[in-house]
């Protein structure tokens, strides 16, 4: 049996998770510097220990209800290949360990609708946790700007 550890966080009313190996740290949301001519889901950049890190609002990118940030909102810093990215999430709730065989894959039709950023679904007790494929999420986020320029 093979296990994986996941960082679980909320976006709206739904629970999402990423493999803990990508998570670097969780911090309160700092002030960021906005950048001109960027997609609406890129909130800006921050400086953490001399590194400039783009800050992404996953709720905006996924088209989830845009409720205001609450007291529990956090910035989840992840490392994608050689790049650090900050993800604004509503709450980081826990780290869980699950059997990799318990991850249910979605049909190819649903995966293509979700831009291939979903790795699968895990059901724990009565909770449904959506597992994000972090590397596909990176390519999906950063191809957005190129496609937008090609369309307009």
**What six digits make up the tokens of 116?**
């291939």
Residue 7: pLDDT band by 50, 70, 90 thresholds? very high
pLDDT over 80 at 106, yes or no: no
- Answer whether 122's CB lies under 8 Å from 107's CB: no
Burial class (CB in 10 A: 0-12, 13-18, 19+), 140: middle
63 or 90: which carries more pLDDT confidence?
Answer: 90
pTM of the model: 0.83
103 or 137: which carries more pLDDT confidence?
Answer: 103
**What six digits make up the tokens of 83?**
């790049």
3-state secondary structure of 108: helix
- Supply the pLDDT for residue 125: 85
Q: Under CATH, what is the fold of the domain 3-151?
A: OB fold (Dihydrolipoamide Acetyltransferase, E2P) (2.40.50)
Percent of the chain having pLDDT more than 90? 47
Mean of the per-residue pLDDT values of the chain? 84
Single out the residue of 88, 72, 102, 76 nearest to residue 20, CA to CA. Answer: 76
pLDDT over 60 at 150, yes or no: no
Query: What is the spatial distance between Cα 115 and Cα 86, in angstroms, rounded to a whole number?
Result: 20
Where in the chain are the domains?
A: 3-151
Residue owning tokens 């007291």: 71
Give mean pLDDT, residues 2-9.
93
């Amino acid at each position: 049996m093979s296990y994986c550890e996941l960082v679980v966080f909320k976006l709206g009313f739904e629970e999402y998770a990423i493999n803990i190996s990508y998570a670097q740290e969780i911090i309160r949301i700092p002030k960021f510097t906005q950048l001109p001519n960027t997609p609406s889901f890129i909130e800006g950049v921050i400086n953490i220990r001399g590194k400039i890190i783009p800050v992404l609002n996953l709720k905006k990118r996924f088209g989830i209800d845009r409720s205001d940030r609450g007291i529990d909102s956090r910035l989840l810093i992840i490392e994608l290949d050689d790049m650090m990215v900050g993800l604004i999430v509503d709450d980081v709730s826990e780290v869980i360990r699950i059997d990799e065989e318990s991850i249910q894959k979605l049909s190819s039709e649903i995966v293509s609708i979700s831009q291939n950023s979903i790795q699968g679904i895990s059901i724990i007790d009565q909770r449904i946790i959506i597992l994000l494929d972090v590397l596909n999420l990176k390519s999906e986020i950063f191809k957005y700007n190129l496609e937008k320029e090609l369309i307009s």
